[in-house]
Every structure is written in C-alpha cells, then in structure tokens.
Amino acid sequence: MSLVRRVALTVGGSLTALTLVAGCGSSEAPAPAASPAPPAQAAPAGTLTVVATTNVWGAVASAVAGPDAKVTSIINDPAGDPHSYESTPADAASINEADVVVANGGGYDEFAEKIADADPAAKAKTISAFDLRADQADENEHVWFDPTAVKGVAAQVAQRLGAAEPAQAAALQQRAQAFSARVDQAAAQTAQIGAAKPGTRVISTEPIAHYLLETAGVEDTTPQDFVEAVENETDPSASSLVQVRDALTARTVGALVFNPQTETPVVAGLRDTANAAGVPVVEVTETLPGGVTDYLQWVDSTRAALARAVGAPA
C-alpha cells in the first residue's frame, strides 16, 4: 500500500465513530504544514543525540536513550501532518549532526528521506521503522502501532548509540529490552479486544490504525475502492460512500476510526452520522497529543478507547 493521504469525503451525511490514527492529505483542502520545530540547542560535548521525525518516534527513542541523551523531534505539533511538512535548513543540520536519526520511512516522512538521500553519512545513521515491520509485504506505512517495528527501532537505537558511546552500551541494551517487554505486554492487552469481542468490525476514514486493528483482532471493513481513493488523493466513489454511510446507519460496525488531525467538513459529517446512529467514534492521531510524552501511555490510552468503543474490557 502506498502513502495514505487525507482526502475530502463528499457525503451528504455524517460519520462519527472510531478515531485511532490520523494524519493524511485531503483532496478538498490541503492540510496546513506542521509547525517547524524550534531551533535545536547544542548538546553538551559527549552527549548522545537522537533526532526523530515525529514525537512518536522521539518518545520511542527517549525510552531507550535515557535521561542523559538529547532527543529532538522535528514534528511536535499535535495538529501537524508529517506528509505535508516542509523541512528547514535547521532540520537538515540537526539530522546531519545527530548520532542517530529515527524516521518512519515508507514515504511517510519524505522530508527526512530527501535529507538523508542528499548525504550518505546521514542516510547511514537513519533508522527506518517501515523497514522493520513484521510483514514486509504489508505496504501500510503507519507502523508506529506495529509491535515488531517499534521493538526493532528500540533495538537499533540501543545498538547504534552503544556503538557511539561503548561505556553506555550495557545500560542502553537494558532499557531497550525493558521497553520491548512492555511493548509485548501492550500488544497482548490489545489482542484481548478481539478475544473478548470476536468478529468485531469497524470503518476507518483512513487506514492509519491498520496495525493496531490487526493486533486487536478487529476487522477493518472499509471498502477497498474507498481506501484506494484516499491513497490516490481522489474522491471516493458514490457507491463506496453509500457503503460506508449505510454501515454506520445500520450499525453493522462497532466503531468509526476517525482522524481529528485531518478533519474536513465532509469527514465531520461522517462523524455526525456515526454519532446520530449511536456508533462510537475513536480518535487516533499520528503525533502525540499535547502534554503526552510517553509512547506506551499513548498506545494504552488508544487501546482503551478502542476497547470501550466496541464493548470489550478496557
């Protein structure tokens, strides 16, 4: 699957439901570019430095790098869209000067790929989470909910920072292992959703919660041509929109997965339809909400919201 972009959904009704992960382009109104990160301040000599493209991956890196490392996230804006972000010279300088760079990859944060492609040294120290996903045939690039990809990033952060500072290698490995064990626990909790509510189905305005739903054992029944239209930044067909609307109105799905970061009047209308039908809406974002800095805390709150929406124990 190629890049998932936001697309305007022209429906004469409202769909409100489950929002798990959000942040892709829209064919009706281009999303505002994310606010650039403030100029990075130089770290003290000898401090390990990590630059992440988004604060989601920055939070993963921070859990491993430890309190003495300097981790900078280029995109911190809760309303920002990494797809449309335009990098600055300061971003390029931060990436080039970092010990390790953590990118989502898969075309999601193209600005980082362009910077890395222009500098072999930057490319060599960049970790691509997309390349570490469990199913290499799965083209969905929103891999921050793929436990295998997340654990792979943690392991590589520890390995690469340990190579840069051997005296810290053992502590880095210990933190990576502890973090990965907690990722496994979170995945096991997520899998209990499907175990408690087998056969649960949802509709998604975008496939950003793809890996979370897979782990949960919840089926995303969004029509394929609807998904492809979103990916290709074209308007969904009338028939696919009718299918989505009917599924919500008839309550044949347990929730609507909704991306608040890319809300358009049409998508808001779909959310309204879901609300009117009594279909729960779960919001999922692509960057950490304001005030949240812990990756696993964010994942757990998203898992709990999904569980409550479909009637599973939270």
The Cα–Cα gap between 234 and 190 comes to 33
φ, ψ dihedrals at 252, nearest 5°? -85, 0
The Cα–Cα gap between 276 and 250 comes to 11
What single letter denotes the amino acid at residue 103?
A
**Which residues have a Cβ under 8 Å from the Cβ of 17 and sit 6 or more positions away?**
202, 203, 248, 253, 255, 256, 257, 258, 270, 271, 274, 279, 280, 281, 282, 309
Q: Residue-wise pLDDT tens for the chain (314 aa)?
A: 433 333 333 333 333 333 333 344 433 444 444 445 555 555 554 699 999 999 999 999 999 999 999 999 999 887 777 877 889 999 999 999 999 999 999 999 999 999 999 999 999 999 999 999 999 999 999 999 999 999 999 999 999 999 999 999 999 999 999 999 999 999 999 999 999 999 999 999 889 999 999 999 999 999 988 888 777 777 888 898 899 999 999 999 999 999 888 776 767 878 999 999 999 999 999 899 888 999 999 999 999 999 999 999 99
List of domains in the chain: 49-188 (3.40.50.1980), 191-310 (3.40.50.1980)
Whole-angstrom CA distances from 3 to 78, 147, 177, 247, 288 are 20, 20, 31, 25, 20
SS3 state at 74: strand
Q: Which two tokens stand for residue 286?
A: 């692509």
**What is residue 43's predicted lDDT score, i.e. its pLDDT?**
53
φ, ψ dihedrals at 168, nearest 5°? -100, 0
Contact status, residue 284 vs residue 20, Cβ threshold 8 Å: yes
- DSSP assignment string, 110-170: HHHHHHHHT-HHHHHTEEEGGGG-S-TT-----GGG-HHHHHHHHHHHHHHHHHH-GGGHH
**What is residue 46's predicted lDDT score, i.e. its pLDDT?**
66
**What is residue 44's predicted lDDT score, i.e. its pLDDT?**
54
**What is residue 262's predicted lDDT score, i.e. its pLDDT?**
73
- DSSP assignment string, 262-302: G--HHHHHHHHHHHHHT--EEE--SSPPTT---HHHHHHHH
Q: Which two tokens stand for residue 65?
A: 């790098």
Whole-angstrom CA distances from 77 to 80, 102, 286, 301 are 5, 17, 10, 19
Cα angle value 100/290/149 (rounded, 5°): 40
**What is residue 14's predicted lDDT score, i.e. its pLDDT?**
38
Contact status, residue 13 vs residue 270, Cβ threshold 8 Å: yes
**How many Cβ atoms from other residues are within 10 Å of residue 32's Cβ?**
11
- DSSP assignment string, 194-213: HHHSTT-EEEESSGGGHHHH
Global pTM?
0.84
**What is residue 78's predicted lDDT score, i.e. its pLDDT?**
77
Q: Tell the burial category of 5 from Cβ atoms under 10 Å away from its Cβ (0-12, 13-18, 19+).
A: buried
**What is residue 26's predicted lDDT score, i.e. its pLDDT?**
39
Sign for the pseudo-dihedral over CA of 308, 203, 131, 8: negative
